[in-house]
Structure 1
Amino acid sequence: MRIAFLVNAIETERPSYTTTSLALAALARGHEVLYITPSDFILGPDDALMIRAAHLGDARPKKSETLLRALIAPEQQRALVNVEEVDVLFLRNDPSLDADTRPWAAHAGANFGRLAAERGTIVVNDPCGLALAQDKLYFQDFPAIVRPTTLISKDIEEIRAFIDDHSDGVIIKPLQGSGGKNVFRVGSSTESNLNQIIDAVGEVGYLIAQCYLPKASEGDTRLFLMNGRPLQRGDVYAAFRRVPAKGDVRSNIHARGTPKRAHVTKEMLAIAETLRPKLVEDGMFLVGLDIVGDKLLEINVFTPGGLQTIRELYDVDFCEDILESLENKIATRKTYQGALNNRILSTH
């Protein structure tokens, strides 16, 4: 299998990233690994879609640091590859990281991914599904029973009224963003810095005001779904708790949250089952759910991370399961000789 990973920039990839772990697992299984960025697509006059890819040649690094060094080494030569010769294109870029400084790059993965899928490459997550999820508004497409009460607005008076309706306070965050950036807890509409918070968050677009869940002080649980169902091996789920740092409302690992073992409850599994039909319909192969109690805080469909953390906590490498699933998709595509569309293959 030849698998290409799309990332924001190869230079900013880290050993701890889930993408790095997936690449190492692919190499260990004998597959060829390519890395590309949003600027590496070329649609030629002959309608051939090419990618300019960083590759490792015959090298089979076993360590994350060795892999990443090889990809950015001065002698690294980019190969021009026809996308039809790529079995799987794994879209692992975060559009929110490019939205301000490189807006052209934010949607390149979904746009060119769609063209790749039309040419027979399996693209995960499905690019047409990802096009629906360019910001957190996608979250509102799921049943209200699993979501905290939410307001999306840029009107400060509407936001003040919403805060007044929730005695436990609210969380304010940007409609587009990731990693816990610009996330604030507001306890009262009379807080002196509310205007500054709204100005800071609203500068990049619409704001989300979400009722605060008291259980969030104990952290949230990241639960991975694959092909629409919880990813698990035996009795171990691909899940971990993220406990926020003292005095912080954010549990993101990037925001100093601490990973712990998770207890996956029947309420969490019920949320996953409620989401499954739409995630399958949208071709969402690998997804990370952030859950507090019986409520879903976020759905991560672009670059859900944490598989290396799970491996450290449980000594289980779920990258193996993910690669095996991709291998099965290639076999299914071959059996059906192109009769199945990419959305079906993505979650088959």
Structure 2
Amino acid sequence: MKTFKAYRLEQINDEIIGSVQTLTETDLPEGEVLVKVHYSGINYKDAMANMTKSPIVKQYPFTPGIDLAGEVVESIDDRFTEGDKVIVTSYELGVSHDGGFSEYQRVKAEWVVPLPDGLTLKQAMILGTAGLTAALSVDQLEQHQMDQALPVLVTGATGGVGSISTAILKNLGYRVAAMTGKSEMHDWLMSLGAESIVDRETFMNEKPRVLDREQYAGAVEVAGGEVLSRVLTKVTYNGTVSLSGLTAGVKVPATVYPFILRGIHLAGIDSVYCPIATRKAMWHRLATDYKLTDDQFNQIGHDVIILEELSDKLPRILSGGAKGRYVVALV
């Protein structure tokens, strides 16, 4: 490797400017494993990193991208050898450590997960952090037996976590009620496996109650805020709500009634620092019993882009103008 391309953020006159630059190996951060990156994926956190006055990035120049999948080129850690196919998601990648929007990246060995049999590198990045979060969310729901007579509610269903959760739940035999405010996405969600669509505006305009009719066996919840408070009141006895996001806010105007009268479980989902053993177990499930069909992979990871397109695509994530997952091809 002499030179390679990366999407770099620079601070110029109080503005953050992103561009594709040519780098050398000396530009890479410290780490035990050097990876030739084949694919990355775009996440909400990456779009936030691209903002002026970003809450994510503290030092520039910087390479964003909290996900990558590729092939080991060099390793000073005995767990990995040249040619190994690997996945790296979250931890400090793309936050305080240069990330996956680069043809090569050096990472810490303790962040690296071997690519499980049954997944390609591209499929791994169609999933990425969103897929890991979805797997953790569904796993929490399954730890408490769900009433299959009722549907499972998935909020933010057109996003990465929501769309992948919809597909996983459908494949496991659950009925899925997918919530969205985008009427143009209804057919797409149904093609992924949603049985019904819940209009977000209608859902939020209903009169709030401390306990509502038991409508859902459980929920994959990515919004937080008032959305979460309303979801909790509609889940059936002993149901679970897996919470992984805060797009509707961090304050939850809720009561204790769903918890003490219905035994509702609220499971917090952390895909950033979850233990490596849990991480490997979830990637194994994503390659086996949680695996998406080829058609679902194509539907969710329908848009494959190159580094030069990131400047255009990243702002669309913040504006809510995306569906599923953008995959960045680096080979």
Q: Tell me if both proteins adopt one fold, taking TM over 0.5 as the criterion.
A: no
TM-score, with length taken from structure 1: 0.29
TM-score, with length taken from structure 2: 0.30
Q: Which has the higher helix share?
A: 1
